[in-house]
Amino acid sequence: MQHTFGYARVSATDQNLATQVEDLTQAGCTHIFQEKVSGTRTHSLALDELLAAVREGDVVVVNRLARLGRNTIHTIQLVEDFNRRGVHFRALDLGIDSRTPAGKMIIGVFSSFNQYERENNRQKSLAGIELAKQQGKHLGRPAGRDAEKLAKVATALERGLSVAEIVTVTGISRASVKRYRQDIEMQNS
């Protein structure tokens, strides 16, 4: 059985959901998820409940497209998710209806913009990594061994200090001291 769900969310300037709820009721929504917290977080209780409730063939309606997501990228991602899941989407303010050819075209445009944004971000990241490499910066996880610390631990071990004493004297962590001690023992055997 197909359900028509509404989603209403307050904005920073309009904390009253009455107009949205009225529009969604007139649009035939049988259940309206109401978000009463504004902000920039992409996860919210009412939205998460809506996403868990919708099934293939259901319809999600918002009175204004800007009320769906927290920002443009989030909105596009949600519309793409609905499309992938076979959930129809309607935005009353723009006349977007994913069941119509024009609505499908707009969703296709949204998907194209989102793909462009992902690719653009990926290229920026790769360019930043390449620049860092050219500048001789170390990328990734820090090196596991520090020659200076290894030398301190070796000297302390030669003097007969215990692991606890080496930690106290050098300030090197207990795990690192044990690791350096193990490396030294392996080298000496």
Assign 169 to helix, strand or coil.
helix
**Host H or E run for residue 177:** helix 174-188
- Pull the structure tokens for residue 110: 């949204």
What amino acid is encoded at 27 in this protein?
A: A
125 is catalytic: no
Catalytic residue (one of 11, 112, 125, 162): 11
What region, left, alpha or beta, does residue 97 occupy, with left being phi > 0 and alpha being psi -120 to 50 degrees?
beta
Assign 1 to helix, strand or coil.
coil
Residues with Cβ within 8 Å of 13's Cβ and at least 6 positions away in sequence, in order, are none
What amino acid positions are annotated as catalytic residues? 11
